[in-house]
């Protein structure tokens, strides 16, 4: 779901470029606080995986394809601020080197597939883990990734409607409809990869909020 | 979540790296070429023609390295280049984020030493 140049009108792409730049600048500061040096090569590797996986369009219904985005996956692994930065870097390389996603639409893509994807995915993952007390982690990961794609597609629909391409109700129905299907693939990959790369903490903490925050930064 | 953390088993990360290389180099040429969700919507609602490309300098447009007659090689190479760029960009970015605090302190120390010598 990479918005190309030409789909967004000037007021929309200028606004989203400014907002996207602000969000990335803020994430850089937040990520710096959460980042551990030993995570550096792992983040680089996961970013490369996201790029590779995004190349693989899988067929869905009606001569249409979808592909993985990855915001929820990276955010579950490293937190949403680092997740948003990884997604921004992927979108930047795709737009600059591969002409995939517009330059004028980069801010919009960063906001939708980057920030909406990461924060909706991470937020619903954390909520699900709390509600089910850590049980059913795989299903929670699947659902939160699915939800993040649907939310990101709704974001794109709003921007398209704001640009006057078509009205909001039609845009939302069309975009959300297709991405409810594409989200199934997103959920599968997120569930499998996070399941493979995560393990239970050997020492269970007492469950205080402070402890949770500390260990979340570590995780 | 406090109950889970990323694994420290080196083997699992190495396997992720191998999977990444396999997807980028070997699987990528076989991806579906049908329009994706957004392109489908744009086509159905008659605004696909609005698509333009501002960035005419893109080195590898549409994930095909120019001048290679075999599509599988051309796309696989585009994938290989992509994962290397991604890993390098993110390694550089995140490393600079972990180091920028320390660097500033070092520079400040250097500066003070300079002043002391004067």
pLDDT of residue A4: 96
The answer to whether the Cβ–Cβ distance between A41 and B93 falls below 8 Å is no
A186: closest CA among A92, A120, A126?
A120
Residues of chain A with Cβ-Cβ distance to B77 below 8 Å are none
Q: Indicate the helix (H) or strand (E) that contains A52.
A: helix A40-54
Arithmetic mean of pLDDT, B92-96: 95
Select from B63, B79, B87 the Cβ nearest to the Cβ of A47. B87
Cα distance between residue B76 and residue A168, in whole Å: 39
Residues of chain B with Cβ-Cβ distance to A63 below 8 Å are 34-35
Range picked from A7-16, A132-141, B58-67, B96-105 for highest mean pLDDT? A7-16
pLDDT of residue B101: 56
* Fold of the domain built from segment(s) A10-218: Arp2/3 complex 21 kDa subunit ARPC3 (1.10.1760)
Q: Indicate the helix (H) or strand (E) that contains B7.
A: none
**pLDDT tens column, B16-52:** 999 999 999 999 999 999 999 999 999 999 999 999 9
Residue B100 has pLDDT above 80, yes or no: no
pLDDT of residue A209: 44
The answer to whether the Cβ–Cβ distance between B6 and A179 falls below 8 Å is no
The answer to whether the Cβ–Cβ distance between B38 and A3 falls below 8 Å is yes
Domain boundaries, given as residue ranges, for chain A: 10-218
3-state DSSP assignment of residue A65: strand
pLDDT of residue A120: 98
| Test the B interface: residue of A9, A66, A97, A180 with most B CBs within 10 Å | A97
Q: What is the CA radius of gyration of chain B?
A: 23
pLDDT of residue A208: 43
pLDDT of residue B111: 41
The answer to whether the Cβ–Cβ distance between A45 and B89 falls below 8 Å is no
A215: closest CA among A128, A131, A129, A136?
A129
Helical spans, DSSP H, in A55-116:
71-78, 80-98, 106-109
Q: Indicate the helix (H) or strand (E) that contains B5.
A: strand B4-6
More reliable by pLDDT, B102 or A194: A194
Along chain A (219 residues), what's the average pLDDT of each consecutive run of 10 residues? 95 97 96 92 98 96 93 97 98 96 97 98 96 92 98 97 93 96 97 95 53 47
* Residue count of chain A: 219
Residue B3 has pLDDT above 90, yes or no: no
For residue A18, give how far its alpha carbon lies from the nearest alpha carbon of chain B (Å): 18
pLDDT of residue B9: 92
Q: Residues 41 to 100 of B: which have CB under 8 A from any A CB?
A: 41-42, 44-45, 47, 50-55, 58-63, 75, 78-79, 81-91, 93-95, 97-98, 100
For residue B113, give how far its alpha carbon lies from the nearest alpha carbon of chain A (Å): 28
Cα distance between residue B116 and residue B83, in whole Å: 47
Residues of chain A with Cβ-Cβ distance to B101 below 8 Å are 32
pLDDT of residue A124: 97
Select from A1, A46, A201 the Cβ nearest to the Cβ of B37. A1
For residue B66, give how far its alpha carbon lies from the nearest alpha carbon of chain A (Å): 12
The answer to whether the Cβ–Cβ distance between B94 and A165 falls below 8 Å is no
Q: Tell me, yes or no, if B113 comes closer than 8 A to chain A by beta carbon.
A: no
**pLDDT tens column, A44-75:** 999 999 999 999 999 998 899 999 999 999 99
pLDDT of residue A213: 46
pLDDT of residue B99: 82
Residues of chain B with Cβ-Cβ distance to A215 below 8 Å are 2, 5
The answer to whether the Cβ–Cβ distance between B20 and A49 falls below 8 Å is yes
């Amino acid at each position: 779901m990479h918005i190309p140049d030409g789909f967004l009108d000037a007021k929309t792409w200028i606004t989203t470029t400014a907002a996207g730049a602000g969000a990335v600048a803020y994430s850089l500061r937040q990520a710096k606080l959460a980042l551990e040096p030993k995570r550096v090569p792992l983040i680089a590797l996961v970013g490369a995986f996201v790029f590779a996986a995004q190349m693989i369009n899988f067929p869905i219904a009606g001569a249409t394809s979808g592909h993985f985005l990855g915001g929820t996956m990276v955010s579950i692994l490293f937190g949403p601020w680092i997740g948003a930065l990884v997604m921004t870097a992927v979108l930047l390389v795709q737009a600059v080197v591969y002409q995939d996603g517009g330059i004028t639409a980069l801010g919009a893509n960063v906001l939708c597939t980057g920030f909406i994807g990461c924060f909706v995915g991470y937020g619903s993952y954390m909520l699900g883990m709390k509600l089910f007390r850590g049980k059913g982690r795989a299903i929670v990961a699947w659902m939160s990734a699915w939800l993040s794609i649907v939310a990101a597609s709704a974001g794109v629909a709003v921007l398209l409607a704001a640009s006057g391409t078509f009205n909001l109700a039609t845009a939302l129905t069309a975009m959300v409809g297709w991405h409810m299907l594409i989200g199934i693939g997103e959920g599968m990959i997120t569930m499998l990869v996070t399941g493979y790369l995560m393990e239970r903490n050997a020492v269970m903490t007492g469950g205080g909020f402070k402890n949770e925050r500390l260990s979340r930064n570590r995780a | 979540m406090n109950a889970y953390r990323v694994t420290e088993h080196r083997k699992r990360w190495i396997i992720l790296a191998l999977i990444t290389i396999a997807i980028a180099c070997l699987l990528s040429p076989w991806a579906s070429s049908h329009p994706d969700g957004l392109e489908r919507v744009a086509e159905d609602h008659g605004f696909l023609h609005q698509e333009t490309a501002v960035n005419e300098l893109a080195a590898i447009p549409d994930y095909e390295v120019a001048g290679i007659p075999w599509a599988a090689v051309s796309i696989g190479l585009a994938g290989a280049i992509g994962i290397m760029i991604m890993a390098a960009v993110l390694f550089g970015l995140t490393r600079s984020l972990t180091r920028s605090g320390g660097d500033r302190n070092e520079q400040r120390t250097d500066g003070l030493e300079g002043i002391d010598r004067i």
